[in-house]
Amino acid sequence: MAAEDLSPPLEADLSVRGFLGHESMRRGWGRGFESGRLGHAHLVAGPEGIGKGFLVRRWAAMLLCRDPQFGEAPDPQACGHCSSCQALKSGNHGGYLEISTEGSGPVEIARMREILHFLSLRADGRRVILIDSADQLREEAANALLKILEEPPAETHFLLVSHRPARLLKTIVSRCQRWLLGPLARDPFLEILDRHGVTGDLATFLFEGAGGRPGAALLLGEAIERCGGIGAFGQILGEVPDDPRDLVSLTLREGESFDRQTVQRTLKVIGDGLWAFRGETLESRERAATRTLMLSHLARHLERFGSADLVIEAVAMVLRSENPREVVSRIPRVMGTHWA
């Protein structure tokens, strides 16, 4: 297997304008890069949808760039024009390996063998291995990665993205330089949405629902557009279809079908939507919080046991119940699990 076959096109705006927020952490990275003190392994952690994957892909480009730029941005930028940057953009960089779980479920041991093969190939300069998301590593895969991190090859950088770092092996975390990100403030959040053509009342609504996570907000925005607007989306949450599987149509993209991945994405969108519609009273906020937390639990159950049909039926139970706390006692018995 050639390295060229393992490197997908790097889809990230490498310009100074291309990334907003997280300035303090980016300055720390920049100082480490300029002084030559960056470690060989980095763990970028924080809530899902805040831009971690976008940031580490920019860092990967900067590490591989032949002419990194130092200027007005908090961290150095890839030039975007050298042979390395062009190879990344076209997906033909022999020094870049990306392992992404988007649409593919857990990371199995076979993916670690890909890393070992990649490292065995002849290299010209730095190499970067990006794993997004490291939370999805199976136990065997995690142990194999740990062995690789314990004896890192020269001039090789590992970039690990994690939504839930507590799920990682402590020994993996201890071998990484840690970078923790939080949700964005309102102004940079709204500017990011503006760049994607989302403004006005919808942008404000998405901030209320996603809480400073632009990636999650854009996903929620797509679902709202499919429904025909905020009001129509709220009506769907209040009047669940007779067949709960129809809820997945909120997030289905061309070529996709009902499966674990699309149900997971639907759970995230519905959870953010419930919180956006939480209302102003204490009772309505408590009800929205309870429902949202229950959906998070169902998402974890789906990750572990994989019954998409059962989970979407449970989602319908949560949405239809006037008192979601009553559902807390019913769903675990049906699913053979516990709220956690």
pLDDT bucket at 173, cuts 50 / 70 / 90:
very high
**Mean pLDDT across the chain:** 87
Q: Higher pLDDT residue, 72 or 301? A: 301
| Alpha helix positions (H), 65-185 | 83-90, 109-120, 139-150, 170-174
Spatial CB neighbours of 77, under 8 Å, sequence gap ≥ 6: 14, 15, 16, 58, 62, 68, 69, 71
Q: Is the pLDDT of residue 340 over 50?
A: no
Q: Where are the domains of the chain?
A: 3-180, 186-335
**Model pLDDT for residues 227-260, shown as the tens digit of each residue:** 999 999 999 999 999 999 999 999 988 888 899 8
Contact of 134 with 45, CB cutoff 8 Å: no
Instruction: List pLDDT tens digits, range 10-51.
Output: 555 555 455 678 888 888 888 888 888 889 999 999 999 998
DSSP, res 9: -
Q: What is the pLDDT, as a whole number, of residue 170? A: 95
pLDDT above 90 coverage of the chain, percent: 58
Say whether pLDDT at 57 is over 70: yes
- SS3 assignment, position 99: strand
pLDDT of residue 3: 40
Q: Which one has a higher pLDDT value, 32 or 106?
A: 32
**Does residue 103 or residue 197 have the better pLDDT?**
197
Residues composing the chain: 340
- Short-list 25, 15, 19, CA closest to 46: 25
Assign domain 3-180 to a CATH class.
alpha beta
Looking at residue 248, its amino acid is V
Q: What is the DSSP string of 158-196?
A: EEEEES-GGGS-HHHHHTSEEEE--PPPHHHHHHHHHHT
